[in-house]
Amino acid sequence: MLIETLSTFPHMYDSVMNTSMMRIAQDKGALTFHAYDLRNWTHDRHRTTDDEPYGGGNGLVMKCAPIFEAVDDIAADADDKPYIIFLTPQGRQFDERCAMELSTRSRLLFVCGHYEGMDERVYSLADACISLGDYVLTSGELASMVVIDAVVRRLPGVLGHDDGTIDESFHHHLLEYPQYTRPSEYRGMKVPEVLRSGNHQAIDTWRHQQSLIRTKQFRPDLLSKAHLSAEDRKFLDQNSDGLNNKN
């Protein structure tokens, strides 16, 4: 996959894209990444990317001309047009399904805003508009990093196991079960016996039940989307008092 970003602060990506899983994805050849500097498509000596808004108001608005020119140049390859994404509050709220859909694309281009916002005309370039949630960030770069991370980790071969994301939160509209590692007891808190039993069927059952309970306790809204069996529903009815870590 080729992922590109267009922003006024391309160096913000240096640390994230050269660390941990993002670095591994590039080393494995699953990801190629490039951050473009929007200022390269300006035509004044100050390399200006923003201006005062028509009608007055606080803050500055990103100009449309540099963005249009940049996208024209970046997307010039007719054989592999990028899927162009804008990060904006009016976009589709980002979730795991959206990450899965984007991971099937061969090329993504994130156009990142800053300051007060963007000239409305640039959104005519968008193939998709995405919002992280009901809050405002100063930087579209930060939002794009979250989306990129969620997408890249779904690419084949990036994680240690091909099924590495299957049991994670939200994959089946359920939160992930509790995880433990050594020591088996710490400050009076013990790892559930079932996890040390070696009985893999019992462990799988426990984990699934814990996902059900945890989802009901912390994100009950997800249960309406989950495919619950009659046995799952019965279990939830019988364990309505919250998270249960007993074996």
Query: Per-residue pLDDT for the chain (247 aa), expressed as one digit of tens each?
Result: 999 999 999 999 999 999 999 999 999 999 999 999 999 999 999 999 999 999 998 889 999 999 999 999 999 987 899 999 999 989 999 999 999 999 999 999 999 998 778 999 999 999 999 999 999 888 899 999 999 999 999 999 998 755 545 555 565 789 999 999 999 999 999 999 999 999 999 999 999 999 999 999 999 999 998 999 999 999 999 987 654 444 4
Sequence-distant (6+) residues with CB within 8 A of 178 are: 210, 214, 243, 245
Phi, psi of 81 (to 5 degrees): -70, 135
In a domain, 187, yes or no: yes
In a domain, 160, yes or no: no
Model pTM?
A: 0.86
Strands 32-37, 2-7: pairing kind: parallel
In a domain, 201, yes or no: yes
- Dist. CA 159–CA 146, nearest whole Å: 17
Same domain (yes/no): 41, 141? yes
Same domain (yes/no): 66, 132? yes
CATH code: domain of residue 23: 3.40.1280.10
Sequence-distant (6+) residues with CB within 8 A of 242 are: 213, 217
In a domain, 48, yes or no: yes
Same domain (yes/no): 124, 181? no
In a domain, 142, yes or no: yes
Same domain (yes/no): 22, 122? yes
Q: Looking at 124, 152, 180, which one is the last position of a domain? A: 152
State residue 244's pLDDT score.
46
Domain span including residue 85:
2-152
Number of domains in the chain: 2
CATH code: domain of residue 188: 1.10.1270.20
Same domain (yes/no): 136, 183? no
Same domain (yes/no): 63, 123? yes
Q: Looking at 101, 124, 152, which one is the last position of a domain? A: 152
Same domain (yes/no): 180, 141? no
State residue 161's pLDDT score.
59
**C-alpha gyration radius of the chain:** 23
State residue 212's pLDDT score.
95
Same domain (yes/no): 122, 200? no
Task: Give the H/E segment covering residue 91.
Answer: strand 83-93
Same domain (yes/no): 99, 205? no
Same domain (yes/no): 128, 88? yes
In a domain, 132, yes or no: yes
In a domain, 175, yes or no: yes
In a domain, 178, yes or no: yes
Residues 158-176, buried b or exposed e (16+ Cβ, 10 A)? bbeeeeebebebbebbbbb
